[in-house]
Amino acid sequence: MDLSPKKQKQTLLLSKSKEFKFFKKLIQQSKKILVSTHMLPDGDGLGAEVALYHYLKNSKKSCRVYNPDPLPDRYVFLDTQNKFLYGPKQAKPWNQFDLWVIVDTNDPRRLGPLWSELSLKAKKIVFLDHHPVLNDKQLNFSYPPHAMVLTDLASSSIGELLYHLFSELKLTSIQKDIALGLYVSVMTDTNSFRYARTTPMAHQIAGEMIELNVNPEEIYQSIFSSKQLSHIKLLGHMLQNVKTTPDGKTAWLEVSLELMKKHKASADDTLSFLNLLLLVKEAEIICLFREETANQIRVSIRSKGKHVINKIAAELGGGGHDYSAGASLKSSMDDAVNAIIKRLNALTKTRP
């Protein structure tokens, strides 16, 4: 089957497509399968990796997980003995493998050095995603002929997409180790089932995983109640310095590299800060600007549902969902804020 990007599937019925059936065949036929997710891995990508890893291992496949960044502290419970969720400078993947499954992104740039390191070592590559596919112009990149993109916009998370995959493959049953990954993926990427993209299936999957002895309270405490005191003080500083546009419709936070170093905070430690801005009644769009290195700013954008914001992120080389997106900009903090807020201000002044 042609794996060129012209054949990539972006649909609400991915499980019914020829491409999805071809992916199932690849899983069945492959013996060595590598699994990865994007830089700064989140609960969706990591949970999906855990579920897929255990499913493949229980199906007698050789599987390894290898990511461009280390496992964040709050997700250590997914691999308490550090046996399979590997990051840089840990166990290396094979020199050659049959299939590379990349979850929760369709943008090779978000794999950092892994893309150039591993893309020619895989016989086949599949990006398994639920975000809109960027075009070649946005990416400034062309997918190689042995890579394909499968993205299902209707899935709340990669966990939901994998649930359908496992149900159709039937290579093994869903046990607790698989259920843990699926639950974490679904729960985190719906923001505990609060985002607009939360589906009835997301709730159904969560219920089934709890029946398999996944403990919701333990998972929640591990992910969301794991802040150091210094990080709470950083949050206090951030909340005292919330900025808004004159009409209050856009609110944002700015986190400098100096401030993160002072409070010994990682990028992952700041991700939950953004959700607190959702409490601001007048705000229709919220942002978090984080300085990653000098003149490198990462912006995360959320909309409460009145305005689609992923097109603005795409204009700046990023992407995401309709109401949740992000981008990385090579600029100063002031320039990045001005560029984004100017666009968002124009968006909020239009009628939804």
Chain segment 162-177, per-residue pLDDT in tens: 999 999 999 999 999 9
pLDDT of 297: 95
Same domain, 119 and 44: yes
CATH number for position 313: 3.10.310.30
Same domain, 302 and 206: no
Looking at this protein, which amino acid is placed at residue 132?
P
Last residue of a domain, one of 187, 222, 257: 222
Last residue of a domain, one of 222, 256, 284: 222
Same domain, 237 and 189: no
Strand order of the sheet with strand 324-329?
Answer: 243-244, 250-255, 285-293, 296-303, 324-329, 319-320
Q: Tens digits of per-residue pLDDT, 216-270?
A: 999 999 998 877 888 889 989 999 999 999 999 999 999 999 999 999 888 888 8
DSSP state of 85: E
pLDDT of 334: 95
Same domain, 117 and 249: no
Q: Tens digits of per-residue pLDDT, 175-208?
A: 999 999 999 999 999 989 988 889 999 999 999 9
Same domain, 12 and 135: yes
Same domain, 259 and 338: yes
Same domain, 253 and 331: yes
Q: Band the pLDDT of 142: cuts 50, 70, 90.
A: confident
Same domain, 42 and 102: yes
Looking at this protein, which amino acid is placed at residue 140?
N
pLDDT of 6: 44
Task: Indicate the number of domains in the chain.
Answer: 2
Same domain, 170 and 290: no
Q: Distance between CA atoms of 346 and 336, rounded to whole angstroms? A: 16
Among 184, 135, 191, CA closest to 163: 184
Last residue of a domain, one of 163, 195, 222: 222
Average pLDDT over every residue of 10-38: 83
CATH number for position 165: 3.90.1640.10
Range of the domain at 316: 229-348
